[in-house]
Amino acid sequence: MTLHRQVAPEITGIWVLGGTGAVGQQVSRLLQRQRVDEVVTVSRRAPATGAQARWPRHVQLDLKQPDASLPFRRGDRVINLTERTPPSLVAETVRHGAVFIDSSASPAYVQNLRRAAVEATGPGYLVDCVGMAPGLTNMMAHRVANRNPMTRRLEIAVELGLGKHAGLAATEWVLRSLSHSYDATIDGAVRNLRPGQLRDRFPFHAGTPARLAVNFPFVEQSVLAGELSGPCTTVLSYLALDPPWVTAALARLLRWGTGDFLSRNAGHAAGLLLRLPTFGSTATRVVVRGFDDGGRKTSELRFVTGDQTDATAAVFAAIALAAPAPSLISNPTLTAADVLSLEETVAVIQAVQPEAHLDSKTGSAGCGPGIQRGAAPSARSTGFHPHRRSKRQ
């Protein structure tokens, strides 16, 4: 399956850091058919045996090394899929006039990357909060808040299906995050929370009872709290797992104080979990809802798609191709919501997962119009077409 999109002429090449992982491989496959001079993957390990013939150019490099450096050029797009990448590489990207595109959901890591981009004072810039969560979640939250002026509280919940194993790095990240306290904005004040301290239920599945979710340190809640600090006084992110009994078990473990133990042993625990059988669906579901001062629901958006790997890769490929030329950008930091609209992002995901859809529900507080199922533009209107090769190979 391929993408076709008109590429800005200033793009000289696209680097994929962490390019041998599942998302990196899919991003590379999508980009190889585009009008890009070259696609270069970077990883501490070589491509799998037998894959070299169809692989783009590859650089074997441990990005965690303090002297890690790459020959970026003005106009390059640098997709970062690993938190091994140091902030110094972001500064290098910006100084060379390239665009650094980041996937991290960790608040502290994103803050460090933003600081590096600002202090570099170069012609390039950083795009963060790219992917599904963060990324699509940010766009949905902006839609709820901007079209519903009475919204004061935003709640963002992601349900991950366990029908397919996530990658080792992603599994380790979730486990490590279980012990990380983080700041969240509640009623206009910053509060320090631990994962699992708050619990709520969300309608991930239409026509069925709402499911349990626990608060979790996804970066978009802090980013959105800053961007929407006027109208919204509370922004919270939640995590759920499918099947729901896994979420219930996680909530109990966190209540019993085992988050620190799981975090300290994240590497061993992740390896064990990935050897267990899969169960549940492979779907990824996102619910974003708003409430007014009186606790009445103002609006609700629900997005459902299949395997998160394909959806995330499609968003990254689209952001890399659509990111404006650095000469047009004065701000050293953007988010994915500044590059693609919600409708464009849904269409990009539908190009690789036609079953994906976005539903909306207006609450009782008298909000503006929302997005109805099927209202996203077609792949044709955004320039993305599955199964078609670019005219230039």
In the CATH scheme, what architecture does the domain 132-308+353-379 have?
2-Layer Sandwich (3.30)
Question: What are the two backbone dihedrals, phi and then psi, of residue 115, each rounded to the nearest 5 degrees?
Answer: -60, -40
3-state secondary structure string across 312-361: HHHHHHHHHHHCCCHHHCCCCEEEHHHCCCHHHHHHHHHHHCCCCEEEEE
* Cis bond before residue 386 (omega within 30° of 0): no
Closest CA to 343 of 367, 379, 305: 379
d(CA 121, CA 129): 21
The pLDDT, as a whole number, for residue 16 is 95
The pLDDT, as a whole number, for residue 34 is 73
Mean pLDDT of the chain: 86
Q: How confident is the prediction along the chain (393 residues), in pLDDT tens digits per residue?
A: 344 444 555 778 899 999 888 899 899 888 887 767 789 999 888 776 655 555 568 888 888 887 888 999 999 999 999 988 999 999 999 999 999 999 999 999 999 999 999 999 899 999 999 999 999 999 999 999 998 899 999 999 999 999 888 877 888 889 999 998 999 999 999 999 999 999 999 999 988 999 999 999 999 999 999 999 888 999 999 999 999 999 999 999 999 999 899 889 988 988 888 888 888 888 999 999 999 999 999 999 999 999 889 999 999 999 999 999 999 999 999 999 999 999 999 999 999 999 999 998 766 443 333 333 333 444 434 444 443 333 333
The pLDDT, as a whole number, for residue 253 is 93
The pLDDT, as a whole number, for residue 375 is 39
Tokens of 337: 């919501």
- Which residues, other chains included, contact 78 with Cβ-Cβ below 8 Å and sequence gap of 6+? 14, 15, 17, 72, 89, 93, 98, 99, 100, 101
CATH of 14-131+310-343 among 3.20.10.10, 3.30.870.10, 3.40.50.720, 1.10.357.10: 3.40.50.720
Question: What are the two backbone dihedrals, phi and then psi, of residue 340, each rounded to the nearest 5 degrees?
Answer: -120, 145
Helices within the chain (DSSP H only): 22-32, 87-95, 107-120, 137-146, 168-177, 220-227, 244-255, 259-264, 266-273, 308-322, 342-352, 379-382
Angle at which helices 308-322 and 342-352 pack, to 10 degrees?
130
Taking CA atoms, 96 is separated from 47, 62, 328, 333, 388, in Å, by 27, 21, 15, 15, 33
d(CA 24, CA 55): 11
CB-count burial class (<10 Å; 0-12, 13-18, 19+) for 280: middle
Residue intervals of the chain classified under CATH 3.30.360.10 are 132-308+353-379
Summarised one tens digit per residue, pLDDT across range 60-104 is: 888 888 788 899 999 999 999 998 899 999 999 999 999 999 999
The pLDDT, as a whole number, for residue 390 is 37
Residue intervals of the chain classified under CATH 3.40.50.720 are 14-131+310-343
Closest CA to 340 of 139, 79, 114, 77: 139
CA angle 325, 328, 333 (to 5 degrees): 85
Summarised one tens digit per residue, pLDDT across range 1-21 is: 344 444 555 778 899 999 888
